[in-house]
Amino acid sequence: MKIRDVNNNVLVVDGASGPLTIGTIKKLQQILNLSIDGICGPQVLSGVKTIMEKPLCSINSSGDKTAIRYIQWRTGSAIDGIYGNETLRLVKQYQRSNKLVIDGIVGNGTWQSLLS
């Protein structure tokens, strides 16, 4: 999901919940507008599940605030959960930079790129 530790490194899967893992969970909680406690509880897991389902998101979207917040974070938009004009512009910029279809719609191709 491109969420890295405080040193911008990919986490190593080692089964331990050390300070880098906790910091990364806190970053995800911040992105998703959850209480920041560093615990990977049900709300965090639900947010990850929503994002991994790759819902179709566009200027007409209003129900997938969790997914939209992640899209906004990945594209550098203000994170408010609303797919407005700034998000649209930055999604198109992201699509252009990544040689994707430039339509402002976060569909399967754009999701694959955002999550890889």
Q: At what angle do helices 65-75 and 19-31 cross, to 10 degrees?
A: 110
Nearest to 51 by CA among 116, 2, 115: 115
State which of 19, 34, 50 marks the end of a domain: 50
25-35 per-position pLDDT tens digit: 999 999 999 99
d(CA 65, CA 81): 4
d(CA 110, CA 88): 13
Q: What percent of the chain clears pLDDT 70, i.e. is strictly above it?
A: 99
Total structural domains within the chain: 2
Please tell me whether residues 72 and 87 are part of one structural domain: yes
Tell me: pLDDT of 50 over 90: yes
63-90 per-position pLDDT tens digit: 889 999 999 999 999 999 999 999 999 9
Please tell me whether residues 59 and 12 are part of one structural domain: no
Q: In this predicted structure, what is the pLDDT of residue 15?
A: 81
Q: Tell me how far CA of residue 54 lies from CA of 19, 36, 45, 82, 92, in angstroms.
A: 29, 24, 15, 16, 17
Q: What is the three-class DSSP state of 64? A: coil
Q: Domain range holding 81?
A: 53-115
Q: In this predicted structure, what is the pLDDT of residue 48?
A: 94
Please tell me whether residues 72 and 108 are part of one structural domain: yes
Please tell me whether residues 102 and 85 are part of one structural domain: yes
Please tell me whether residues 42 and 82 are part of one structural domain: no
Q: Which of the pair, 25 or 6, is modelled with greater confidence?
A: 25
Q: Mean pLDDT across the stretch 7-27?
A: 84
What pTM did the predictor assign?
0.89
Q: What is the three-class DSSP state of 57? A: strand
